[in-house]
Structure 1
Amino acid sequence: MKRTFIWIGALVVGALLGLLGLNWLDVVMNLVATVYTRLFQLLAVPTIVLAVITTFATFGSKGSKRIFGHTLTYTLLTTIAAAAVGAVLYLLLAPGNLPAEVVNSSSKVSDIGPQITYTEHIISIIPNNIVKPFFDGNILSLLLLAFAIGFGLSKLPESENKAVLTKGLLGLQELLFLLIRGLIWTLPLGIVAFSAQLSAQLSAGIVADSIGKYVLIVLGGNVIQFFVVLPLFLMVRGLNPIHVLSKMMPAVLMALFTKSSAATLPVTMDTAENRLGISPKIARFVLPICTTINMNGCAAFILVTSLFVMQNGGIPLTWSTILLWILVSVVSAIGNAGVPMGCYFLTLSLMSGIGAPIAVLGIILPIYTIIDMVETAENVWSDSCVSAMVNHDLNKNCSSLL
């Protein structure tokens, strides 16, 4: 509780500093925010790899299969629910089309990031070099490698070599968590910087060019998923959503400012274990997986944005089209990487692939910072809910695993 109050205090101080409008102060705050983001990204990659390897190695294939099954089930259910909420809001609020001259105008979207097809995105996940995914920070490729190594380690016959290797990996993991705890101890300074950065952007009018109903649908869908749908999932499993959210609030706040569930992962794991009381074996297995495949906010964004872009391109939005894109958004979100603007680039690739007017995405870009923040906070909250539900299920039905 003390840490939460300190973080909230840092949030307020940062917001006030950002409103001062001092150029030198904005530069300093941007520098500090960038340093913290890079440090958490640095720790995120080895955290994911070591967590998956050690969990597979210590659980064994049977235990890993059970826990992965629970995780995947809750991930699919929550992600489908998020997309469905977005579809319902889109049909109810029915945003109108943008002016034709805006839709047909040349766009600078192509200069923002690489445009690749979704097939190329899937192929890029399959590593062809054991070192390259570490340099590129390709989370999904690293997950595949970690699964393979962890599974192979669990299948090795018991021997001194296996014991030494396993203890070495566990020792590295403990060292990593020591570094994470040290970084979290200094995090109030980072929160001041993140908050000042956001406050300065808002005062500069980033939200002023919003697209009205579209923004209301995207943000409204995230709010409903955050405060209604996910708490309902928890209550069905016999968990108190207020208790879970209060314990996981540091991770949710961190996600809000970093706009990266992968960068927030060290905080999410530490908070889940030490505040919420989730078994380390569960937290260190479920949360790295959820960080890469449990993208509630991304699924809603992909669906709503795709429908909006297609509508402006003159594509009829029939029931069959909407249902198809609910499926596409869920599958795409699961294959997305938990990095800033990941959903934006993925939606851009999908729309380019069907020839929709991607100039609309250029109009959305100025306000995407706010959307990305809310989405990431929702994603980490959903990760927290999934890990809490899996922990509850295994404690209740499979206590022998723990």
Structure 2
Amino acid sequence: MHKFAILFSILLAIVAYYLNSEIIFEIAKLFSDIFISLLKLISLPLVFLSIVSTISGLKDSIEIKVLVKKTLFYTLLTTIIAAFVALSFYLLIDPARKNFISNTIGSINSNNHSYFSYLKSLIPSNFVQVFLENNMIGSILIAFLMGGAIVSLSKEKQDILHQIFSALFDTLLKIAQGLLKLVPLAVWSFITCFLHELKGGSEFYSLLWYFVCIMSANFVQAFLILPLLMWYKGISPIQTLKGVMPALTLAFFSKSSSATLPTTIDCVQNKLKVPKKLSSFILPICTTINMNACAAFILITVMFVAEMNGCAFSLSEMLIWIFLATSAAIGNAGVPMGCYFMATSYLMSMNVPLHIMGLILPIYTIIDMFETAINVWSDICITQIINKECNSET
């Protein structure tokens, strides 16, 4: 029934597009903004509580170290592979040699997003400020510190605090499950807004090869690399995909892996039967640092824009960019337009003119939708793999 409601929402969005009414578009924009705001409202405390409740319930610090080590290993592995695949497709397609970019495009305004300043700002100096500024990585840092401190307390105090944080976490999950009932309405509003924004993308076809390059790299990562990794570990990619389709759908239309987190946790726990102590620990971390598609976008975009402006990369520099794109992806906050600003930040640090980024902006909406879904899919795959390994070790 839920699937039919979503399909009906898509059809209504197409009808709304052809009606071409500004009032309908304004209503759709209002609903989409409200839905994203509601999801983001619970996402940060959900991440914080999930990590604290999970760590506080672990038996010893060794168990925590094992989970963190496995999560970081597979995050780095899949992100580096994604960047390498992106570089391979960039060299194969070579979009910068397709002379289809107009030189009359004006430069776009861009805020000075210094990558190192960004990293510095993630380290919290105030407990309350972290939540006021929606500092995801800062909240995770505090959650780790608090969870680790709780584990070091006496068993009686640890049990009490664990029950409190677990109850708060379960309460937020109930709220998240209630919000999921609004998904059909949200899908209608997202698609209606998307179709309306697409009207201004007159330069879409001039960036065809750039678009093909990014999408090819992302599709290979999502439908070949990650499934092969799961298959190697004895996990069915098809069954996994079926179980998490609601989360991937929401990620696709919301363009925010952070906002999708409550749905992702719900699907992984209830459909894939991954234990709560694993899913609620691994997924929030992956949502923040595991950005496979973002690494691909940053690498291809930086090299494409730089080469279009006369820059050249040696083979060694290209290999270095695999790790630069990986580090930028890990530092990305998992919010809409995050990858775009990261790529812009790198280009600004290289003193590369940004006028071509103005061409990319209209089609970034499409790219961002696919990237977010692929990032969430990667989070789920890593969670499945770690769950399989933990079951094998017990």
Structure-1 residue corresponding to 2:150: 153
Is residue 369 of structure 1 aligned with residue 365 of structure 2?
A: yes
- Secondary structure, in 3 states, of the residue corresponding to 1:268? helix
Is residue 42 of structure 1 aligned with residue 33 of structure 2?
A: no
The 5 Å alignment of 1:1-400 reads 2-59=1-58, 60-96=60-96, 107-110=107-110, 114-159=111-156, 161-202=157-198, 205=201, 208=204, 210-398=206-394
The normalised TM-score by structure 2 is: 0.94
Deviates more, 1:30-39 or 1:15-24: 15-24
Q: Does the CA-based 8 Å contact 1:18-1:195 persist in structure 2?
A: no
Aligned counterparts of 1:232 and 1:299: Cα–Cα separation in 2: 20
Compute the displacement of 1:185 (Å). 2.1
Compute the displacement of 1:329 (Å). 0.3
Deviates more, 1:53-62 or 1:91-100: 91-100
Query: Percent same amino acid among aligned pairs?
Result: 36
- Secondary structure, in 3 states, of the residue corresponding to 2:96? coil
Aligned counterparts of 1:9 and 1:271: Cα–Cα separation in 2: 22
Shift in CA distance, 328/205, structure 1 to aligned 2, threshold 3 Å: closer
Q: Does the CA-based 8 Å contact 2:57-2:159 persist in structure 1?
A: no
Q: Does the CA-based 8 Å contact 2:200-2:362 persist in structure 1?
A: no
- Unmatched tracts of structure 2, length 5 or more: none
Q: Does the CA-based 8 Å contact 2:251-2:369 persist in structure 1?
A: yes
Shift in CA distance, 30/105, structure 1 to aligned 2, threshold 3 Å: closer
Compute the displacement of 1:23 (Å). 1.7
- Secondary structure, in 3 states, of the residue corresponding to 1:211? helix
Shift in CA distance, 72/12, structure 1 to aligned 2, threshold 3 Å: farther
Compute the displacement of 1:193 (Å). 1.5
Aligned counterparts of 1:275 and 1:8: Cα–Cα separation in 2: 21
Deviations, residues 162-195 of structure 1 (Å, cap 9, x unaligned): 4332221111111111111111123222122112
Deviates more, 1:98-107 or 1:140-149: 98-107
Task: Report how many residues are paired.
Answer: 393
4+ residue stretches of structure 1 with deviation over 4 A? Answer: 97-106, 203-207
Deviations, residues 89-139 of structure 1 (Å, cap 9, x unaligned): 1111111358799569651232xxx31321111111111111111011011
RMSD value, Cα: 2.0
Compute the displacement of 1:11 (Å). 3.1
- Unmatched tracts of structure 1, length 5 or more: none
Aligned counterparts of 1:201 and 1:104: Cα–Cα separation in 2: 22
Shift in CA distance, 203/276, structure 1 to aligned 2, threshold 3 Å: farther
Compute the displacement of 1:268 (Å). 0.6
